[in-house]
Amino acid sequence: MRIRYQTGIATLVQFTAMSALGIISGINSSVSACSKKAGNCSTSILLSVVFFLLTALFFAAVWVLGSTAQNQRSTLLARALILTELGIILIALFNIQHRSNLLNSFTSIFDIALAIWVIVLAYRLSKSKGGRIVRSPVRSKPRSLHNPISKR
């Protein structure tokens, strides 16, 4: 199966991957905060859970937007998805600049890669203007209507 304009599948992959990486990041953050004696462990765990829920809800909304754009073949929704993904890229770039944790940097880089993939698919969807996306045929010499070999 080739994914040419299936923004619903791409945003589902993005939602799943970012939710899984969010859980791993939250656990890592809570364990590192709880291992220090100066930090408050319960506050760190509560903040990690709230941050995970907000992130998961946001990516679920992006998934709904991507699925709706795919199902309706909507140019407007595809453009809205592109703008949303550009915002995700900006936030991920900000996180890369301001995080010293290697896991969070990897998560942000992976998020940028997924966002670029979704942008490409949404661009193809918006370019199709509600139709199906097909490959443009390879330009070749036009066939002649008569076959010179058959003339004998």
pLDDT per residue over 51-88, tens digit each? 999 999 999 999 999 999 888 888 899 999 999 999 99
Look at residue 32 and tell me whether its pLDDT is greater than 90.
no
* Residue 15 buriedness (CB in 10 A; 0-12 / 13-18 / 19+): buried
Report d(CA 18, CA 92) in Å as an integer. Answer: 12
When pLDDT is cut at 50, 70 and 90, the band that residue 128 belongs to is confident
Note if the pTM is more than 0.85: no
pLDDT in the model for residue 1: 44
Q: Is 50's pLDDT higher than 60?
A: yes
For the chain, percent of residues with pLDDT exceeding 70: 79
Q: What percent of the chain has pLDDT over 90?
A: 39
- Is pLDDT larger for residue 124 or for residue 146? 124
Q: Count CB atoms within 10 A of the CB of residue 39.
A: 12
Q: What does the alpha-carbon distance between residue 93 and residue 95 come to, in Å, rounded to a whole number?
A: 5
Bigger pLDDT: 48 vs 36: 48
